[in-house]
Amino acid sequence: MSTQPWWRGGVIYQIYPRSFLDTNGDGVGDLPGIIDRLDYVAALGVDAIWIAPFFKSPMADFGYDIADYRDVDPLFGTLQDFDQLLAKAHGLGLKVMIDQVLSHTSVEHAWFRESRQSRDNPKADWYVWADAKADGTPPNNWLSLFGGCAWQWEPRRGQYYLHNFLTSQPDLNFHHAEVRAAALDSVKFWLDRGVDGLRLDAINFCFHDRQLRDNPPKPLQERVGRGFSPDNPYAFQYHYYNNTQPENLAFLEELRALLDRYEDVAALGEISSEDSLATMAEYTSGRRLHMGYSFELLTDDFSAGYIRNTVRNLEAQMRDGWPCWAISNHDVERVLSRWGNGDASPKLANLLTAMVCSLRGSVCVYQGEELALTEAEVPYESLKDPYGIAFWPNFKGRDGCRTPMPWSDTEHAGFSRSNPWLPVPSKHQTLSVTQQEADPHSALRGFRAFMHWRKTQPALCRGEIVFLDTAEPVLAFVRELNGEKVLVVFNLAIATIDVELPPGVGTPTVIEGHGLLQGKLQNLRLHLPGHGVWFARLD
């Protein structure tokens, strides 16, 4: 048996519970729905699941506004349902990661309800409170990622509170030792219950600048946002003071010390800072986070040069840490719409899966990627995401990537027996699991074949990476582990191309069995079909 930690090179399948499977007919997915489909997930060949928040919440931000860290919202089920889910997943060989949203709570959390009452109660300093300026305006110029001022007036205290996200998501004051202790105690509750890992939402937002200094303005040409609308005023500032503070490093070490008391658990941090790659390297060095991921491959830029430069940049900075890559998640437009230019073919879907799963690091795969789902067009009257409603029509929010999983060609795509919380697009219904299971050339069948094959290639899972300097649209690199070298070449374009391999690359021996469209080699000239992939062992 391998002595490597499960997470190192592992593939983590993200489940958005609202949209996975509804078992009680209320139109919203639930924990029993996840239990019902765990056999399907295990058969994909992934190593773990990450479940988006299912805790008690008023659902202003669909669970990322937590009112009770230690209980399941009745919308999703019960703690007993979660225990059953955990047991079944472990029985199938799947690890279970859960979201932990530590930087902020809901306004309905008992801590905030107490804190907002006065300036001298036991929780008075548990949140970020500040006096108004002399003219009554907010204490500084910080902005909310969801648009507008990051400060909300509270008349009961006669002060403003900080919210980096929605006004209903007040930020906790991590400078307060009791807050840090309470956060770690909430994490311990789930570790004691048996979870295998944590996905830490917005983990670089835990601390703020004590002096509340203004963020400096950002020049127009640098206002390129990752994970948020390009016309959002949030992009108008350098966010030097409202997040990614140096005090956070000591807290991460406290968190790691807690995790190290448990066997084979892992923490994955979501990082969005002014230099996310540098922050990933810093947050995963030493005894801090096990893994970090950012929005660098969740952008619109789909080119060999961009992918190569991004990974190289991180590799140059991340000496002892471990990256995690994602090309889709619940916050951004689905990858086949962002990178496909109208092409939603199984060939492209399988190429993208193989590409991200061949990079050095672990991988997060979002539900529906295996089906080659594209972004759904959700009409304005059906929108639920407050972010999309606020920025319509220039930015339509996150509902388009959150529509329900299509399981069958029956009513509501087999997701629910009643109207689902978001509509299921008709084009998704034609890509249902049932239909793709019956098609040997489907994206689902290709995804599954590749994932199982990847497990047989240690160099792809855990090896070092060295890129070859190839022209567009070719992405090529070598993965090496214990002297075993695997050459990987991708044609990111639709058209067939010929690739000249460098003479010093070695003697390649083609590797079969991955189920992808393969190229042909003759005298170091590789003939690669559109969206073709080539794996070879090097002597």
> Which residues participate in catalysis according to the annotation?
201, 270
Tell me the DSSP string of 43-108. Answer: HTT-SEEEEPP-EE---TTTTSS-SEEEEE-TTT--HHHHHHHHHHHHHTT-EEEEEE--SB--TT
CA distance 479 to 229: 36
The candidate with the shortest Cα–Cα distance to 443, out of 307, 345, 352, is 345
| Amino acid making up residue 262 | Y
Placement of tokens 């060939």 in the chain? 347
CA distance 251 to 246: 10
The candidate with the shortest Cα–Cα distance to 423, out of 20, 23, 27, 17, is 27
The candidate with the shortest Cα–Cα distance to 322, out of 290, 277, 298, is 290
The candidate with the shortest Cα–Cα distance to 268, out of 361, 351, 330, 366, is 361
Under 8 Å CB-to-CB from 193, ≥6 apart: which residues?
Answer: 82, 83, 86
CA distance 195 to 108: 26
Quote the tokens at residue 274. Answer: 């002014």
Quote the tokens at residue 285. Answer: 């060095």
Q: Determine how β-strand 68-72 pairs with β-strand 55-56.
A: antiparallel
Cα torsion 406, 407, 409, 413: sign: negative
**Angle of CA points 388, 389, 391, to nearest 5°:** 65
Q: Are 29 and 74 in contact (CB under 8 A)?
A: no
